[in-house]
Amino acid sequence: MSALIIPVKKGLTKSIDLLWLLIKIIVPVSILVSLLNHFGIMESLAGFFSPAMALFGLPGEATIALFLSAFVNFYAALGVITTMTLSPQQITVLAVMIGICHELPIETAVSSYTGLRIPAAATLRILTAILAGLLLNLIYTLVGGG
């Protein structure tokens, strides 16, 4: 029985540490986005990016989630997404795009170790995310998803 206690204790400790890390990222970002909403800044940003994001079937606010995922991390984007009201279609399109181009500087540097040049790697990931978002939105539109 004591052989089981040590791994369980270790697992719980790691889980609590990870939970605390996520709380430290997601809660402040969620509060910041709520403040941006409250003061109308989010509405201005959303209005500016709405035409481009409409190509993906997404609201303009989704731009903030995409930028945060690309240049901060996935969890910061998650903090933004939790403050938004999105349909299942929009969540899917946004999640696929985020999955492809998350943490762009770090992941691009890592992929350079395979021999792929950094500009090529970044361009490939960005274009793939755009193409996937467009294609997925088109498929949803054609089959009447939502």
Which one, of 6, 5, 24, lies nearest residue 16 by Cα? 24
pLDDT digit string (tens) for 82-134? 888 999 999 999 999 999 998 888 888 888 888 889 899 999 999 999 999 99
What is the rounded distance in angstroms from the CA atom of residue 60 to the CA atom of residue 37? Answer: 13
pLDDT by residue (tens digit) across 50-59?
Answer: 999 999 999 9
Domain count, the chain: 1
The reported pTM is 0.74
For residue 73, the one-letter residue type is: N
- Domain hosting residue 79, numbered range: 2-143
